[in-house]
Amino acid sequence: MLGQALSEQEACMRSVYACAAEIVCPPAGSPPEFAVRLGEIPASFFTARKNIFSTLFYSTYLALDIPLARRMLYGKLNHLFRIWVTSADNLLDDEDKCVLPLAMPGASRVMREVVALMAADRVMSRLLSAAVSDGTLSARQADALSCESLRCLLPSAAQEASEEGGVVTRPAPEYVLETIHVLKTGLLFNIPFLGVDFVEDAVDCDKVNRLKRALMTFGAACQILDDVRDMARDFVERRHNYVLSVLAHERPRVLEDWARRDIKAGDRLYFDVLPVSLAAAKLGYQRLAGACKVLQEERVIVSGAPVMRMAFSMFTALDLEDLAHACSFI
């Protein structure tokens, strides 16, 4: 099923890029040196590793027996969500994770992301319009998806906005797990159900709810591992972080010591507090394993594969291979 999901998701991505290429082009008479176009799409964009989450999301449509035309539409919308979220992160975090490559003059980082966001919005309008024309959606359904595609992102956007000025005091670790992580990442793992919720009347609602809970748990568990990996960056930039909250409440002298050091965002601080880091990694791993078990039961991922191994593979996917070697709980 994951193989079929990856193949169909790739087709969705290529469709999004083809539509973007038609939209992102300079008007007639523009000076060549100021032309803006869609750039070349690297083959690496379509690899399995680059699309772990997108493939997982798409597999839920296969598990729910959603017809091809609509699941392909939802796959395209998922890729647009990915462009929106990644471009917003690039703007907020001064990063350069490219999802919609653009060929434009200069080395502008900000304007490149602004154009990517605007282009993705227009691609969505065209896709929804086409879906109405070919009978895949009704006009009412298309309008609902257009409106809800913004609304479902607002809680996550509000959470990100709350961190822009930096975290003054670190909340309790439980608050980070139950509120911050749910808003920051968990909700993003329920976005694939936008079309399911507003269009699909024949799906098994209980099954949908089980899948939603499992994917939200999976996403929040990945965020725990992200917090371990990004400890230094989140310390320097004063962002919410589960491990930093544990240290603030249980070992505040560690943070006081780090404040006197020249910490760089790329430092692997988790080795400085290995017992705490491993405890967080174990928590993330256990939640990943629980989510994978449910996804197996619901036929989203292959049955029979060792759940623990699938969960542990996320350490590699999330760039925590060096910590994985220190894990004794596997």
Q: Angle at which helices 139-151 and 68-93 pack, to 10 degrees?
A: 30
Query: What is the overall mean pLDDT for the chain?
Result: 93
Question: Distance (Å, rounded) from C-alpha 104 to C-alpha 107?
Answer: 8
- How confident is the model at residue 164, as a pLDDT? 87
pLDDT, one tens digit per residue, over 166-188 is: 999 999 999 999 999 999 999 99
pLDDT for residue 85 is more than 90: yes
- How confident is the model at residue 114, as a pLDDT? 95
Tokens representing residue 273 in the block: 């507090």
In a 10 Å sphere around its CB, with 0-12 CB exposed, 13-18 middle and 19+ buried, how is residue 166 labelled? exposed
Exposure string for 100-129, b = 16+ CB within 10 A, e = fewer = bbbebeeeeeeebbebbbebbeebbeebbe
Helix (H) or strand (E) segment spanning residue 37 = strand 37-38
Using pLDDT thresholds of 50, 70 and 90, give the confidence band for residue 309. confident
Question: Distance (Å, rounded) from C-alpha 238 to C-alpha 235?
Answer: 5
What is the arithmetic mean of pLDDT over 297-306?
78
Exposure string for 19-54, b = 16+ CB within 10 A, e = fewer = bbeeebeeeeeeeeeeebebbebeeebbeeeebbbb
pLDDT, one tens digit per residue, over 8-18 is: 999 999 999 99
Using pLDDT thresholds of 50, 70 and 90, give the confidence band for residue 329. low
pLDDT for residue 2 is more than 90: no
- Count of beta carbons in the 10 Å neighbourhood of residue 326: 13
Structural contact between residues 102 and 37, judged by C-beta atoms closer than 8 angstroms: yes
Percent of the chain whose predicted confidence (pLDDT) is above 90: 82
| pTM attached to this predicted model | 0.92
Q: Where are the domains of the chain?
A: 1-151, 164-330
Question: Distance (Å, rounded) from C-alpha 273 to C-alpha 146?
Answer: 45
Question: Among all chains, which residue has been given the structure tokens 């309790």?
Answer: 172
Inter-CA distances, 13 with 7, 16, 86, 98, 240, Å: 10, 5, 15, 14, 32
Helix (H) or strand (E) segment spanning residue 102 = strand 102-103
What is the arithmetic mean of pLDDT over 190-214?
96
pLDDT, one tens digit per residue, over 238-288 is: 999 999 999 999 999 999 999 999 999 999 999 999 999 999 999 999 999
Question: Among all chains, which residue has been given the structure tokens 């502008």?
Answer: 108
